[in-house]
Chain A
Amino acid sequence: DAGITQSPRHKVTETGTPVTLRCHQTENHRYMYWYRQDPGHGLRLIHYSYGVKDTDKGEVSDGYSVSRSKTEDFLLTLESATSSQTSVYFCAIQKQGYGYTFGSGTRLTVV
């Protein structure tokens, strides 16, 4: 299985502050995704990347930005955190024919 790690695992931040979440993979998978998980909504796509410096918006991208300067790292930034962004964030990579592999998640609380 491809190694995928997310950091931090937990974070509490104040409203209005910027926050960056990191997703790191140990294999050279081209496609990487950021999802948020909220009760009753399942997982919703925030942004995805199809290569270095190649990213695009997902279903719920407002208030978020991403960067991918290296194949192995995909960063998600909340430019000015709001309470509605309190959620669990999952990164995923996609290996052709095998579906997604998910990280363990980052639990973010905005107070």
Chain B
Amino acid sequence: AQSVTQLGSHVSVSEGALVLLRCNYSSSVPPYLFWYVQYPNQGLQLLLKYTTGATLVKGINGFEAEFKKSETSFHLTKPSAHMSDAAEYFCAVSDENNAGNMLTFGGGTRLMVKP
């Protein structure tokens, strides 16, 4: 069975500071990994995904994540936080990237950005 752990349900950073949101997964097969962002009163939207190939993945809004198999991690980073980054972020894992493969989500991390 797959599982996802997001360390820190709340993270607070200052505007312009580095954003680091942590995600660790467990999977018995090579994983496909995703980060989703949820703005208030909205659904989730895909930020970035790792399937195969390059382990450093770039997403929208300046975010990126690195797949580290040895650490079973897929941490999300952004060099400089912006006020508009305040949202909840979800890490998710599936065992394939084909239609029909279910995602397992972490508990989410709420990012707060201080002026």
Which residues 36-55 of B have a CB within 8 angstroms of A?
36, 41-46, 49
Tell me which of A30, A98, A103 contacts B100 (CB under 8 A): A30
Whether the pair A48, B102 counts as a contact (CB closer than 8 A) is yes
Segment at the interface with B among A14-22, A38-46, A67-75, A77-85: A38-46
A3–B106 Cα distance when bound, in Å, is 26
CB-CB under 8 A for A29 and B99, given A43-B90, A99-B49, A102-B43:
yes
Whether the pair A90, B99 counts as a contact (CB closer than 8 A) is no
Q: Mark A77-111, 1 if CB is under 8 A from B, else 0.
A: 00000000000001000111111101111000000
Tell me which of A42, A90, A95, A97 contacts B106 (CB under 8 A): A42
Whether the pair A100, B103 counts as a contact (CB closer than 8 A) is yes
The B interface, classified by DSSP as helix, strand, loop or mixed, is: loop
B84 interfacial by beta-carbon distance below 8 Å: no
Whether the pair A97, B44 counts as a contact (CB closer than 8 A) is no
Whether the pair A97, B97 counts as a contact (CB closer than 8 A) is yes
Whether the pair B43, A43 counts as a contact (CB closer than 8 A) is no
CB-CB under 8 A for A50 and B90, given A41-B107, A104-B42:
no
A99–B45 Cα distance when bound, in Å, is 10
| Count of chain B residues near A, Cβ 8 A | 24
B61 interfacial by beta-carbon distance below 8 Å: no
Whether the pair B43, A42 counts as a contact (CB closer than 8 A) is no
Tell me which of A30, A40, A95, A97 contacts B9 (CB under 8 A): A40
Shortest CB-to-CB span from A7 to chain B, Å, is 14
Which residues 3-35 of B have a CB within 8 angstroms of A?
4, 6, 9, 34
Whether the pair B102, A33 counts as a contact (CB closer than 8 A) is yes
Q: Mark A27-58, 1 if CB is under 8 A from B, else 0.
A: 00111010100001111110010100000001
Whether the pair B99, A96 counts as a contact (CB closer than 8 A) is yes
20 A-B interface contacts by CB (under 8 A): A33-B102, A35-B105, A40-B108, A42-B107, A43-B44, A43-B105, A58-B102, A90-B43, A96-B97, A97-B98, A99-B34, A99-B46, A99-B97, A100-B36, A100-B44, A102-B44, A102-B45, A104-B42, A105-B41, A105-B43
